[in-house]
């Protein structure tokens, strides 16, 4: 006789799940929750990492929100990059995936690899530094000088007028990542019948096709893509530091993350850095919640 | 009784005089110090080819070999050349092979100089290098002036260079008896060498390198780039068990020069046995190989050895390539000169849409190019003919020919391809450097009697694989840090692997090994405290580690900003508490301590100090009738004069240049109490204006590659860190003697004195406050900071890392013992006396940012200079105030 | 009649338009691909050329002197084989662990509609959103002096905890407990997948007498090939290219990305002892970059089709 495991009762029903989850939960507490709590606590102190923290109440928040120009600058930078690389990268991934989806199979896999390669490459953006180097032997400079468009080398990486754009290019280059892949996959398994039905129903051009048929089927990917994009665009920082210096001239490519690590590691003001971290975190969570709601409602159409 | 005593005394007197000739005999020859000269008269018996033979003894001094300028004149001709008279160095090791450390790894031995008489036979014509000079019969006058170090010279003569040919040699040797045993010697076990930089090292990449163990390091090879310059030699002692004819076989590795191979002369007992051994070529190889010098038919060259002990010497020989490299050198110089003439017309960034009519503007242009093409083709052909292998060296020459031919055909295209021309010259110079260098790595040497069959050593793929696997697995077990145990405890020392550019010091694994050696024998044995050395990258990891209580006891080569931040927060210890502080400090200039002084305490000990000097091309200045500027006004005028010829001047765009102007104007970054910004003062504004004007009004380039531009001469004047000197010496030999290093321009103060003040950049040693062993740490710092340690550290660093990495120690006593010549030393010390430093505060990082931003605003965006500096000064003030609320300094 | 005529017209225009469109699209894609690929081509070209080719103006991509010497320098002087090995061990090990553990967590959240599951899901998203820099320092301090609520000090009696840094087991442990790099993302993928599995499967298993654990191992796991593959590959990429976490956990054990960040300095020290040419540094640097990404590219290329198919089947997509 097969023994019947009891499936009733609290433990019976949920015990297994708690067991499986248990691992994860404990360390989640330790590695994620505790640092967040620590950050929140530290945000009310002055902590220079060598001596004990000194409690200062909400003065850090006051300074941050009212008196810190660099914060405003880095906030606007971060939002700027987030908007540009977020939606822009998103749309770009979508468009490229869409175009790729209509090519043949081998071409498609080759192109997918090509476009995914930058995010595989990770920290290999040194090349960009050679391209945008500020002396007359930097590749871009020498090409432009040879063409006669400029007479003296431009300081792409240190001149505040240019370095934001350099950063955007590089980040966009790296932005076609897992989201892009899921779009490619999504396109592949779209329901063909719907397209035919649409053609009969009078859909005349591609735009309508895209809006009415393709997009609604892709909502789950859009969701995933959104989550990934938000988290990565708010976390832009490392590339900027490498390319334009840390900090960049007049903080022109400074982002919230860099602002945070600047205060934390360069200025020895961990308390203030924690404040920035808390604010950054709040912004990210809010944005995500908003997008989540928006996409949910769209999928219910 | 009295008579007896008198008799005894006179006897003693007489006896002692007998020793005088013996003493006098020791004092052979004439002692010549730096700058001193002497003349000899020599005779050439017949017409023929001669070399100069000098008997000399190098007097102990610094590490560099004595250099003499020799001029031979007579019969209406005159030749001159600078000659290096090499010293004689030996490994100072007591063990059989080499001394070992705790883990049984062999450590590189100290190099000990032997002062003895040597004979050198050398060419004396600069344009033909080491080759013999054709002289007519008659008397000649030889003037010898010592340029560096001091020597004793006992005799100078002209030696006719007639050496036996191999056939003649064999005839002279006659029949040989047969021998039964091979003579084998490991190449790393030398009995003498010409330079202290030729040291044994290890190669663990292949099992066949002898000897090799997977669990410890054995020094199994010698050579490489340290054994590559003309005139260097290594000597081995070999014992022949029986008199016989032996063939030679070298186990070597050469991956420097492909086509031509690398040249060596083989001397037995100080003599070249026959001409064919004068230039033995070692072909290029990717793995260790055997070379048996043989004749064209493949019969190995034999040498005859009597039973007993002999010396075998391998000397770098460039005779197979020297003529070509000298021609190349001349050609590079002339090409550079032509480049400057073109630049005078077109500027360094010519307008591609304009026709400059260069062929008419510069009349000699096309003929020069045509001549250059012929010369290059000749040189390339000569190299190709001598090539023993496929090589890529001549490709550069042919590429240059291609570019020049394009220019000859279309002179109007020269302007737009000017960059190509310059890059080609660069690569030509680089190729010349490569060709001159003759690196060779040796594993072991075998001498086989004529009748014995030589067994080759094949390196089996599998044994090698197993060896590498064992090595790899062992690396998990072995410790990354190295340590010695002491009886009185142990301290943790972290060595910061710094960035060469920023601090002027390249510290890395090799230097850590040097510290290891020095501390084992000097520190641990004397104090009983053991040292654990680790290599880390500073900045974040040091701070994080200290925060997490995982920090070291002592850290070396830490930068100013980190030290400042740690000091004001009480994380590092006050050095004034050290026993013997005052004595130790006396060996250092006060300026080195400014950045470490906070209040009454000094929180770090300086190790290196870097400051700037001015470099200029004497030949170009001579041509243009200019002299090195002494004041900034003269400097500005010089910039303008050079600009008329489209030549550039280089000044760093960094904060240290600003500080130069600031300090010379009498201002400072902070107010005296260090609690406010001093940048609003009129001196600061003036300094800032002058600094930015250099870039805005005078057009100094914002970013540039100093080395190459100085070489071509398009930037004949620049201000740069003094360690640039070494790079120039090592990497731009074609302009030797055509440039000088002098102190930076100054400003006249009210008393009429020339003020050449500038700030400096120091790296330091720190002790972490909550160390368990404060006494031990203090002892270590005291030991480390003394000149008895700094001197060998600097010398050995240079030996291992090369001339381009000469140690910029802050210890004045050690500095005087580094390998600078007297002239160079004088210039450096003059500037060093005016060097000071800007004090550090908790807001220093912010100051650096603000100054950079201010500079960029003024220079890129042309904002009003006064507005900019005021704005950022206020910013700094705010930040200082904020920081003071958090921490005092 | 009319309809059919219309249809015919439309098809001509339609297909004509389609052709133009596909040509345009092709051009666009190729251009984009080139821009994206440019750095890689450049990198590869630099990595396999001999330094003297840097001076040669006529060489654009294909070097005249093809050589592997740059790679050789990396292996001999800069210890790249151990970095390669380290990175491989860490990436593969942690990816596997992440795969297994996140599957469990994803299953729990996805299948069990217990009270807290919504909250738990939110927490997972939280972990994705938090930038690692935030948790870096506290983790470092925690691991350097690890003392699990006093238990360890009690056992060893030494007064301080154990130093978990700079050892392999640490990073494995962290991954095995679901806190590896971007574990939240992995859990998310699994959650979506498991949500899409019909209930009947589970119920059938239960009827057959499987408890929860057996259901999981016998039924769910074999079916979860698709998301497992995705998670594995993505984890490999994340671990391989990661710099920040590696720098926190290790100082002496070096991975490729850590080595890459310090390569300029390391090369300058190495090349001090050889005929120094600034161009030599560039070529070796690029060789290091190539070495850094080549294994991952190969991995991706070989598994690509399966990967994309998995994405389709994984429930992430519709």
Buried b (16+ CB within 10 A) or exposed e, B380-416: bebbeeebeeebbbbbbbebbbebbebbbeebeebbb
C-chain residues near A224 (CB < 8 A): 188, 192, 316
Q: How far is B417 from chain A (nearest CA, A)?
A: 9
CB–CB contact C82 B475 (8 Å): yes
CB–CB contact B731 C276 (8 Å): yes
- Do residues B707 and B624 both lie within one domain? yes
- Do residues B539 and B585 both lie within one domain? yes
What does the pLDDT read at residue B14? 63
The answer to whether residues B589 and B691 touch, using CB atoms and an 8 Å cutoff, is: no
Any chains having at least 3 CB pairs less than 8 A from chain B are A, C
CB–CB contact C293 A124 (8 Å): yes
CB–CB contact C317 A220 (8 Å): yes
A277 touches chain C (CB under 8 A): yes
pLDDT exceeds cutoff 80 at B449 = yes
CB–CB contact A122 C257 (8 Å): yes
A-chain residues near B705 (CB < 8 A): 135, 137
Biggest alpha carbon–alpha carbon distance for chain B:
110
pLDDT exceeds cutoff 90 at B233 = yes
pLDDT exceeds cutoff 80 at B205 = no
In three-state form (DSSP H/G/I as H, E/B as E, the rest C), the secondary structure along B666-684 is CCCCECCCCCCECCCCHHH
- Do residues B666 and B733 both lie within one domain? yes
Residue A50 is nearest to which of B547, B856, B857, comparing CB atoms?
Answer: B547
Is B531 within the bounds of a domain? Answer: yes
- Do residues B451 and B488 both lie within one domain? no
Mean pLDDT value of segment C148-167 = 63
Buried b (16+ CB within 10 A) or exposed e, C265-296: bbbbbbbbbbbbbbbbbbbbbbbbbbbbbebb
Is B16 within the bounds of a domain? Answer: no
CB–CB contact A20 C129 (8 Å): no
* Interface probe, candidates A38, A48, A51, chain B, greatest B C-beta count within 10 A: A48
Q: What is the CA radius of gyration of chain B?
A: 31
pTM of this prediction? 0.77
- Bigger pLDDT: B478 vs B24: B478
Tally of domains in chain B: 5
Residue B349 is nearest to which of A50, A151, A158, comparing CB atoms?
Answer: A151
- Tally Cβ neighbours within 10 Å of residue B231: 18
Range of the domain at B622: 612-760+838-886
Any chains having at least 3 CB pairs less than 8 A from chain A are B, C
For residue C151, name the pLDDT band (cuts at 50, 70, 90). Answer: low
What residue spans define the domains of chain C?
Answer: 2-47, 78-313
CB–CB contact B392 C76 (8 Å): no
pLDDT exceeds cutoff 80 at B452 = no
B-chain residues near A148 (CB < 8 A): 351-353
pLDDT tens per residue, range A128-183: 777 787 766 677 877 787 777 777 777 787 777 788 888 888 877 777 666 677 77
Round to whole Å and give the CA distance between C260 and C242: 11
- Do residues B77 and B50 both lie within one domain? yes
Round to whole Å and give the CA distance between B82 and B65: 12
- Do residues B347 and B419 both lie within one domain? yes
pLDDT tens per residue, range B664-717: 888 888 888 888 888 888 889 989 998 888 888 777 776 677 777 888 888 899
- Do residues B46 and B103 both lie within one domain? yes
Q: Tell me what ipTM this predicted complex has.
A: 0.74
Q: What contacts C150, CB < 8 A, 6 or more positions away?
A: none
H helical segments located in B557-611: 560-568, 581-585
State which of B379-383, B538-542, B800-804 shows the largest mean pLDDT: B379-383
pLDDT exceeds cutoff 60 at A10 = no
What does the pLDDT read at residue B784? 92
- Bigger pLDDT: C209 vs B38: B38
What does the pLDDT read at residue B605? 93
For residue B539, name the pLDDT band (cuts at 50, 70, 90). Answer: low
- Do residues B415 and B445 both lie within one domain? no
Q: How far is C56 from chain A (nearest CA, A)?
A: 14
Domain boundary among B160, B175, B199: B160
Q: How far is A149 from chain C (nearest CA, A)?
A: 20
Chain A nearest-CA residue for B416? A146
Instruction: Work out how many CB contacts closer than 8 A connect B with C.
Output: 90
Round to whole Å and give the CA distance between B438 and B867: 58
A9-to-A14, C114, C117 alpha-carbon distances in Å: 8, 12, 18
For residue B501, name the pLDDT band (cuts at 50, 70, 90). Answer: very low
Strands A45-46 and A54-55: antiparallel
Round to whole Å and give the CA distance between B589 and B610: 13
C-alpha closest to that of B840 among B889, B779, B784: B889
Residue B380 tokens read as 């390339």
What does the pLDDT read at residue B806? 79
Round to whole Å and give the CA distance between B401 and A193: 68
pLDDT tens per residue, range B411-441: 888 887 887 788 788 788 878 888 888 889 9
Strand partners, B157: B53
Residue A113 is nearest to which of C21, C242, C300, comparing CB atoms?
Answer: C300
For residue B502, name the pLDDT band (cuts at 50, 70, 90). Answer: very low
Name the 3-class secondary structure at B557: strand
Residue C82 tokens read as 């151990």
Residue C145 is nearest to which of B498, B549, B801, comparing CB atoms?
Answer: B549
Is B466 within the bounds of a domain? Answer: no
Residue B548 is nearest to which of C57, C69, C144, comparing CB atoms?
Answer: C144
Domain boundary among B110, B141, B160: B160
First to last CA, chain A: 50
- Bigger pLDDT: B659 vs B175: B659
- Do residues B312 and B452 both lie within one domain? yes
Biggest alpha carbon–alpha carbon distance for chain C:
96
pLDDT exceeds cutoff 70 at A3 = no
The answer to whether residues B588 and B812 touch, using CB atoms and an 8 Å cutoff, is: yes
Residue C55 is nearest to which of B423, B497, B501, comparing CB atoms?
Answer: B423
C-chain residues near B226 (CB < 8 A): 273
Query: Is the bond preceding A247 in cis, omega lying within 30 degrees of 0?
Result: yes
H helical segments located in C196-277: 199-207, 212-214, 221-223, 225-241, 244-249, 256-261, 263-271
- Tally Cβ neighbours within 10 Å of residue B486: 17
CB–CB contact C177 A23 (8 Å): yes
CB–CB contact C269 B225 (8 Å): no
The answer to whether residues B125 and B70 touch, using CB atoms and an 8 Å cutoff, is: no
Mean pLDDT value of segment B256-272 = 85
C78-313: CATH superfamily: MetI-like (1.10.3720.10)
What CATH number is given to the structural domain containing B642?
A: 3.40.190.10
- In A138-167, the residues whose Cβ lies within 8 Å of chain C are none
Q: How far is A170 from chain C (nearest CA, A)?
A: 10
What residue spans define the domains of chain A?
Answer: 27-125+158-299
Which of the following CATH numbers is that of domain A27-125+158-299: 3.40.50.12780, 3.40.50.1860, 1.10.3720.10, 3.40.50.740? 1.10.3720.10
CB–CB contact A155 B702 (8 Å): yes
- In A227-256, the residues whose Cβ lies within 8 Å of chain C are 227-228, 230-231, 234-235, 237-238
Round to whole Å and give the CA distance between B125 and B132: 8
Residue with structure tokens 């008895």? B788
* Interface probe, candidates C273, C280, C281, C282, chain B, greatest B C-beta count within 10 A: C273
The answer to whether residues C272 and B506 touch, using CB atoms and an 8 Å cutoff, is: yes
Round to whole Å and give the CA distance between A27 and C178: 7
Q: What contacts B485, CB < 8 A, 6 or more positions away?
A: B102, B530
Q: C-alpha angle with apex B198: B195 to B202, nearest 5 degrees?
A: 170
B91 burial type by CB count under 10 A (0-12 exposed, 13-18 middle, 19+ buried): buried
B-chain residues near A134 (CB < 8 A): 702-703
Residue C287 tokens read as 């060789």
Residues of A at the B interface (Cβ-Cβ below 8 Å)?
Answer: 46, 48-51, 134-137, 142, 145-146, 148, 151-153, 155, 158-161, 247, 249-250, 265-269
Q: How far is A135 from chain B (nearest CA, A)?
A: 5
What does the pLDDT read at residue B489? 77
C-chain residues near B705 (CB < 8 A): 278
Q: What contacts B506, CB < 8 A, 6 or more positions away?
A: B498, B500, B801, B805, C265, C268, C269, C272
Is B2 within the bounds of a domain? Answer: no
- Do residues B637 and B559 both lie within one domain? no
C55 burial type by CB count under 10 A (0-12 exposed, 13-18 middle, 19+ buried): buried
Strand partners, B302: B247
B-chain residues near C142 (CB < 8 A): none
CB–CB contact B857 A250 (8 Å): yes
């Amino acid at each position: 006789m097969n023994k019947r495991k009891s499936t009733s009762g609290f433990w019976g029903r949920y015990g297994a799940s708690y067991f499986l989850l248990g691992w994860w939960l404990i360390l989640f507490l330790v590695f994620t929750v505790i640092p967040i709590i620590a950050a929140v606590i530290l945000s009310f102190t002055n902590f220079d990492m060598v001596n004990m923290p000194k409690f200062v109440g909400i003065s850090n928040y006051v300074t941050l929100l009212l008196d810190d120009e660099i914060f405003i600058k880095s906030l606007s930078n971060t939002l700027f990059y987030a908007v540009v690389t977020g939606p822009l990268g998103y749309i770009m991934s979508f468009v490229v995936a869409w175009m790729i989806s209509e090519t043949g199979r081998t071409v498609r896999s080759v192109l997918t690899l090509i476009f995914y390669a930058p995010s595989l490459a990770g920290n290999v953006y040194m090349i960009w530094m050679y391209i945008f180097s500020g002396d007359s032997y930097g590749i871009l400079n020498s090409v432009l000088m040879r063409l006669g468009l400029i007479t003296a080398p431009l300081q792409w990486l240190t001149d505040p007028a240019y370095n934001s754009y350099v950063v955007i290019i590089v980040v966009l280059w790296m932005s076609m990542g897992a989201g892009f892949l899921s779009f490619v996959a999504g396109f592949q398994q779209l329901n063909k019948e719907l397209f035919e039905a649409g053609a009969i129903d009078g859909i005349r051009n591609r735009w309508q096709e895209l809006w009415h048929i393709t997009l609604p089927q892709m909502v789950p990917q859009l969701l995933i893509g959104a989550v990934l994009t938000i988290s990565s665009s708010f976390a832009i920082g490392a590339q900027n530091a490498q390319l334009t210096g840390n900090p960049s001239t007049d903080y022109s490519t400074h982002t919230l993350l860099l602002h945070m690590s600047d205060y934390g590691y360069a200025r020895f003001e961990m308390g203030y850095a924690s404040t920035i971290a808390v604010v950054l975190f709040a912004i990210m969570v809010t944005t995500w919640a908003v997008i989540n709601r928006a996409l949910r409602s769209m999928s219910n159409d | 009784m009295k008579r007896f005593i008198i008799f005894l005394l006179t006897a003693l007197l007489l006896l002692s005089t007998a020793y005088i000739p013996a003493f006098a005999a020791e004092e052979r020859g004439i002692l010549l110090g730096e700058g001193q000269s002497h003349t000899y008269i020599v005779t050439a018996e017949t017409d023929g080819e001669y070399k100069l033979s000098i008997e000399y003894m190098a007097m102990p001094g610094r590490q560099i070999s004595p250099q003499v300028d020799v001029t031979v004149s007579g019969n209406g001709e005159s030749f001159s050349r600078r000659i290096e008279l090499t010293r004689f160095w030996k490994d100072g090791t007591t063990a059989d092979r080499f001394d070992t450390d705790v883990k049984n790894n062999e450590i590189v031995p100290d190099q000990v100089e032997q002062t003895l008489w040597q004979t050198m036979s050398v060419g004396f014509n600069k344009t033909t290098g080491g080759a013999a000079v054709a002289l007519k019969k008659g008397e000649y006058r030889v003037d010898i002036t010592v340029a560096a170090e001091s020597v004793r010279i006992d005799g100078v003569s002209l030696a006719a260079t007639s050496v036996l040919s191999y056939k003649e040699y064999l005839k002279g040797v006659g029949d040989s008896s047969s021998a039964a045993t091979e003579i084998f010697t490991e190449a790393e076990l030398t009995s003498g060498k010409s330079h202290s930089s030729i040291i044994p090292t290890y190669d663990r990449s292949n099992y066949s390198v002898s000897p090799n163990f997977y669990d410890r390091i054995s020094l199994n090879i010698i050579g490489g780039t340290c054994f590559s310059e003309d005139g260097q030699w290594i000597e081995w002692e070999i014992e022949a068990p029986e008199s016989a004819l032996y063939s030679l076989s070298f186990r070597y590795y050469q991956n420097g020069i492909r086509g031509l191979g690398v040249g060596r002369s083989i001397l037995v007992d100080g003599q070249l046995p026959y001409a064919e051994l004068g230039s033995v070529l070692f072909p290029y190889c990717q793995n260790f190989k055997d070379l048996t010098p043989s004749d064209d038919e493949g019969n190995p060259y034999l040498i005859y050895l009597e039973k007993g002990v002999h010396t075998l010497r391998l000397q770098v020989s460039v005779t197979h390539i020297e003529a070509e490299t000298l021609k190349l050198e001349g050609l590079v110089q002339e090409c550079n000169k032509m480049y400057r003439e073109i630049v005078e017309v077109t500027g360094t960034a010519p307008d591609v849409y304009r026709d400059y009519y260069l062929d008419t503007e510069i009349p000699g242009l096309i003929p020069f190019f045509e001549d250059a093409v012929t010369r290059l083709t000749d040189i390339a052909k000569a190299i190709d003919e001598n090539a023993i292998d496929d090589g890529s060296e001549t490709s550069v020459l042919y590429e240059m020919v291609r570019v020049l031919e394009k220019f000859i055909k279309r002179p109007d295209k020269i302007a737009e391809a000017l960059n190509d021309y310059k890059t080609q010259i660069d690569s030509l110079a680089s190729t010349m450097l490569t060709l001159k260098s003759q690196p060779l790595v040796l594993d072991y040497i075998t001498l086989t009697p004529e009748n014995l069959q030589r067994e080759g050593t094949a390196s089996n793929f599998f044994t090698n694989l197993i060896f590498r696997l064992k090595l790899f697995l062992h690396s998990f077990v072995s410790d990354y840090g190295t340590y010695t145990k002491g009886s009185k405890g142990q301290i943790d020392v972290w060595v910061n692997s710094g960035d060469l550019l920023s601090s002027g010091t390249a510290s890395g694994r090799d230097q850590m090994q040097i510290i290891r050696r020095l501390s084992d024998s000097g520190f641990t044995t004397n104090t009983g405290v053991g040292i654990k050395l680790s290599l880390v990258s500073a900045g974040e990891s040091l701070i994080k580690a200290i925060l997490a209580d995982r920090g070291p006891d002592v850290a070396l080569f830490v930068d100013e900003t980190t030290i400042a931040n740690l000091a004001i927060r009480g994380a590092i210890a006050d050095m004034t508490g050290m026993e013997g502080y005052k004595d130790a400090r006396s060996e250092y200039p006060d300026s080195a301590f400014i950045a470490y002084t906070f209040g009454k305490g000094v929180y770090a000990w300086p190790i290196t100090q870097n400051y700037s000097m001015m470099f200029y091309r004497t030949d170009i200045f001579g041509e243009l009738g200019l002299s090195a500027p002494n004041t900034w006004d003269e400097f500005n005028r010089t910039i303008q004069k050079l600009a008329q010829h489209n030549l550039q001047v280089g000044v760093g765009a960094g904060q240290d240049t600003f500080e130069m102007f600031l300090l010379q104007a009498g201002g400072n970054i902070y107010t005296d109490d260090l609690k406010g910004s001093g940048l609003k003062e009129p001196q600061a504004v003036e300094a800032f204006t002058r600094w930015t004007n250099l870039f805005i009004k005078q057009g100094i380039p914002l970013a540039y590659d100093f080395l190459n531009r100085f070489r071509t001469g398009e930037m004949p004047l620049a201000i740069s860190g003094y360690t640039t000197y070494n790079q120039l010496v090592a990497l731009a030999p074609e302009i030797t003697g055509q440039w000088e290093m002098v102190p930076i321009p100054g400003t006249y103060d009210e008393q009429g004195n020339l003020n050449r003040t500038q700030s400096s950049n120091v790296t330091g040693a720190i002790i972490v406050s909550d160390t368990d062993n404060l006494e031990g740490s203090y002892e270590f710092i005291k030991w480390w900071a003394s000149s008895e340690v700094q001197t060998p550290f600097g010398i050995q660093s240079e030996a291992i890392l090369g001339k381009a990495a000469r140690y910029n120690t802050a210890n004045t006593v050690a500095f005087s013992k580094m390998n600078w010549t007297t002239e160079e030393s004088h210039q450096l010390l003059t500037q060093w006396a005016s060097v000071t430093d800007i004090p550090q505060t908790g807001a220093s990082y912010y100051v650096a940012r603000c100054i950079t931003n201010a500079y960029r605003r003024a220079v890129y965006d042309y904002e009003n200079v006064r507005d900019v500096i005021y704005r950022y000064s206020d910013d700094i003030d705010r930040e200082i105030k904020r920081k003071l609320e958090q921490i005092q300094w | 009649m009319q309809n059919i005529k219309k249809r015919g017209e439309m098809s001509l225009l339609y297909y004509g338009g389609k052709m133009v469109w596909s040509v345009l699209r092709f051009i666009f894609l190729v251009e984009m691909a080139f821009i994206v690929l440019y750095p890689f081509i450049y990198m590869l070209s630099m990595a396999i050329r001999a330094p003297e080719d840097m001076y040669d103006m006529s060489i654009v991509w294909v070097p005249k002197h093809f050589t592997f010497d740059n790679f050789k320098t990396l292996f001999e002087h800069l210890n790249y084989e151990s970095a390669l090995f380290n990175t491989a061990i860490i990436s593969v090990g942690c990816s596997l662990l992440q795969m297994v553990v996140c599957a469990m967590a994803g299953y729990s959240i996805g299948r069990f509609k217990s009270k807290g599951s919504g909250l738990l899901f939110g927490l997972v998203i939280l972990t994705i959103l938090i930038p690692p820099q935030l948790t870096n320092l506290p983790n470092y301090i925690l691991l350097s002096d690890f003392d699990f609520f006093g238990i360890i000090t009690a056992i060893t009696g030494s007064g301080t905890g154990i130093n978990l840094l700079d050892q392999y087991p640490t990073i494995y442990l962290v991954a095995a407990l679901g806190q590896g790099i971007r574990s939240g993302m992995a859990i998310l993928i699994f959650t979506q997948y498991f949500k899409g599995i019909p209930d009947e499967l589970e119920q059938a298993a239960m009827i057959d007498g499987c408890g929860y654990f057996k259901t999981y191992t016998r039924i769910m796991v074999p079916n979860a090939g698709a998301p497992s593959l995705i998670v594995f590959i993505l984890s490999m990429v994340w671990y391989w290219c990661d710099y920040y976490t590696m720098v926190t956990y290790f100082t002496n054990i070096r991975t490729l990305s850590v080595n890459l960040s310090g390569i300029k300095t390391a090369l300058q020290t190495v090349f001090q002892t050889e005929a120094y040419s600034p161009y030599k540094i560039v070529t070796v640097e690029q060789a290091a970059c190539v070495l850094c990404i080549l294994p991952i590219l190969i991995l991706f290329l070989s598994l690509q089709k399966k990967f994309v198919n998995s994405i389709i089947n994984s429930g992430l997509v519709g």
